[in-house]
Structures are given as structure tokens and as C-alpha cells.
Structure 1
Amino acid sequence: MSSDYPETPITRHTLSSNAAYAKDSHPADMAQTGPAPTQHYAVITCMDARLLPSVPSALGIAPGAAHIIRNGGGSAHDALRSLLASQHMLMTEEVLVIKHTDCGFSHFAKNEVVREKVAGMGEGAKRTAEAIDFEPIGEDLEGAVRRDVEYLRAEEALKHRGKISGWVWETDSGRLRRVC
């Protein structure tokens, strides 16, 4: 590893896990754009490491079946770039927006909460944070799901706006509940 990027326990674990995987696996041909997801759908969900698709069987997602787009809070705004490529280049037609209970983004209701923490890193960091809408969820989880679905359904650049649904994953029971 380059001395500019020191080895850490995480990088060591990642490399050793990958070596074991590559030894027994036959990697896909990555010389061309990959195939479209076999089920032609995309899931927008939170980056929370406790959640699906860390456990893809919870949604019945087989490898290659769907595009999984993850970001903080499961934001449709953040996911739009990936979703446009997914629909226009790789033939996805349906979108599931899945947010979850006990999301870190539900623990704050205003951008200022995050901006104040980032601003402690200096003026450059403060300017960066001030330019970002962190899309806090606050107490209105279902409202956040509805707003994201409405945003995507109104986005004229998307090819398939009629097949967009919104869901809440209940972290205490593992159950998925349709919102819209």
C-alpha cells in the first residue's frame, strides 16, 4: 500500500476478505457496461449499516435483481443522478423509496444541527456545510417518504414516473410498511 494512504484494520480486513472472495469466485466481465438489473427496479434507501440491503433476503433481492442506491436518510434528491443513469442506461422501470424508523436523520429537524458540527472544522468546512441541504427528517418520517416520492414523480427527466412507491422499514419488527 502507498505510504500516502496508511494501512488500517479496515483496509487489511477488506483486502483479506476480497482475496478469499476472488479465489473462489469468477468475476463478471467488467469491460462493458453491466447488464440491466433482472427485475428492472431500483431501491433508494438509507446508508445505515444495520439495514437492508445489508440483509437483501429481507426484501427478496437476489444478486443482480435491482439497483440499490444508498445515502444518508435515503434521500431521493441525492439519489437522482444514479437513478437517471439506472433508468436511461440500464432499463430500470420501478423505484421503491424505503426510509426507516430510528434513522439518524430523524434525530434532527434542522440543517443547522449538522452545519454547526461541521463548522468546527474551520471556515472552508463551514462554507461547504452551508451549501448543503442535509434534508433532516425530524419527527415526520412518513411525510419525508411522501415528499421524496412526490419529488421523483414530478421529475420530468425520469422515464418511468408512474411506478414509484414509498415505504417505511420498521426497525423493531423488520417489517416493511407501504406509505404511498
Structure 2
Amino acid sequence: MSKVPSALTDMFERNQKHAESRKGIPTLMQMHNRQRTPDDGVMIITCADPRLNPYAIFGLDETAQQRFPVVIRNAGGRTFDALRSIAVLDAIGSPSTIVVMHHSDCGMTHFHDADVKNILLSRTEDPAERKWIENTKYGEMLGPPEDSIREDVTLLRNSPFVRKETQIVGVKYDVFKGTVEVINVP
């Protein structure tokens, strides 16, 4: 058996405490049946930034005892990066609302596609890998969060992977104040 990296040791110890206090949770199929209720269910697409905890931000129960949203997280909370998951989760859960939540002080506003490409290109000499890296979009945000929110909401509204009747709401989270603001997307 391989040695556990020291960075994980504390996490595993906290997990032990978590497991000891954990209450019973529903099975996946029980949750699935609850999520199939028409005009109910929320999916949140947001950033992987550890300063964002959608369950805490929206006062949600993490134990899945109540109806709860599905949360998809990635660098920048970009919807183009989440489309496969959105399609799968929409097919099996039928959420009536998708929330696109970007935030202030996001890393994708500080590190742009060119920065990410340069780092990745420095790691390989393989021509095929270099081509793949060059042709990939990494989700940079060149303006304020409102701009990327509008871009991502529009992408979802035009996507064949999202039902046309699904409500799509853009939200900006202020990491310093802890507040959310709905962003109007015409």
C-alpha cells in the first residue's frame, strides 16, 4: 500500500469525525425520484474556488434530506466546461432552473488562457499534446463577472443540451461581502 501524502492526513482525520457524526442519507434512487418532480429542482454551476460553498451561501442541507440542488464546479464556473455534466444531470434529474454563479476576485480574471497555455506548453515537447493545448479554451474572464455570467447564460440558452423551458439565472457572488446579486441577461 502506498503512503498517504501528508497533505491528506488532516483531511482523512476530519473525515473520520465527519463519518462518526453523519446522519442517515437517502439512496440515490430515492433522491432521483424526488428530483423528478416537475417544475422543481435546481442545478448550480459555479467556480471551484474554495471560498465558495454553495450549500452555505444558499443555506442548503448537505445531507440530501431536503430537496437540494446539484452543484457542478470547475475553474471559473464556466458552462462550456460543464455541458456534458449538465446534459447528463438534466436527463436524469430534470431541474427546472440552472443557476450560473460567478464571483468577484476569480482566478480566471487573473490568469488568462495565454498564461495557462504557456505553463502547459512548458511541460511537453510532444507535437500532438502541444496542438491540443494550443486549441483548448481555458475560460479566461477579461471583464467583470457580469460579462462572463451573461456569456455563459447565453451559451446555455442556445445549447441543445438544455431544455428550452429551463429557467437560467445568472448570479454574482461577492466573496468579500458574502452576498449574491441576480444579473439581468436579456
Would the TM-score normalized by the shorter structure come out above 0.5?
yes
Structure 2 residue runs without a partner (length 5+)? none
Superposition deviation, residue 78 in structure 1:
1.1
8 A Cα contact 1:106 1:136, kept in partner: yes
Q: How many residues in Structure 1 have an aligned counterpart in Structure 2?
A: 174
Aligned-pair identity (%): 24
Q: 1:15 aligns with which of 12, 17, 21?
A: 12
Q: Specify the code of the residue in structure 2 equivalent to 1:139.
A: G
4+ runs of 1 displaced by more than 6 Å? Answer: none
Q: For the residues of structure 2 that align with 1:160 and 1:143, how far apart are their CA atoms?
A: 22
Q: 1:70 to 1:161 in 2, by over 3 A?
A: farther
| TM-score after normalising by structure 2 | 0.81
8 A Cα contact 1:47 1:71, kept in partner: yes
Superposition deviation, residue 67 in structure 1:
0.4
Q: Specify the code of the residue in structure 1 equivalent to 2:97.
A: E
2:61 is matched with 62
Q: 1:114 aligns with which of 109, 113, 116?
A: 116
SS of the residue 1:77 aligns to: coil
1:41 is matched with 42
Q: 1:120 to 1:144 in 2, by over 3 A?
A: same
Q: 1:165 to 1:32 in 2, by over 3 A?
A: closer
| TM-score after normalising by structure 1 | 0.84
* Residue pairs, 1:20-169, within 5 angstroms: 20-26=17-23, 28=25, 34-35=31-32, 36-37=34-35, 40-53=41-54, 56-63=55-62, 64=64, 65-109=68-112, 111-124=113-126, 126-169=130-173
Superposition deviation, residue 175 in structure 1:
1.4
Q: Specify the code of the residue in structure 1 equivalent to 2:6.
A: P
Structure 1 residue runs without a partner (length 5+)? none
Question: 92-101 vs 160-169, which deviates more?
Answer: 160-169
Query: Alpha-carbon deviations, 1:50-80, whole Å to 9, x = none?
Result: 1122xx2321222231101100010111111
